[in-house]
Amino acid sequence: MQSKIRDVLTDKTQDIYCVQRTDTIEDVVTVMNDKRIGAVIVKDGETVVGILTERDLLKKFLAEHKDPAKTYACQIMTDQMVITTVDRSCEDCMTIMTNHRIRHLPVYDGKELVGIISIGDLMKRLVQDRSTEVHYLQDYIHGPFA
Between the CA atoms of 20, 96, 85 and 128, what dihedral angle is there, to the nearest 10 degrees?
Answer: -110
> Residues 105, 38: contact at Cβ < 8 Å?
no
For residue 98, what are the domain limits? 5-142
pLDDT in tens, the chain (146 residues): 688 999 899 878 778 999 999 999 999 999 999 999 999 999 999 999 999 999 999 999 988 888 999 999 999 999 999 999 999 999 999 999 999 999 999 999 999 999 999 999 999 888 776 655 555 555 667 666 65
The helix, strand and coil proportions of the chain, stated in percent and rounded to the nearest 5, come to: 45, 25, 30
State the greatest distance between any 2 C-alpha atoms of the chain, in Å, as a whole number.
Answer: 66
CATH number at residue 99: 3.10.580.10
* Tally of domains within the chain: 1
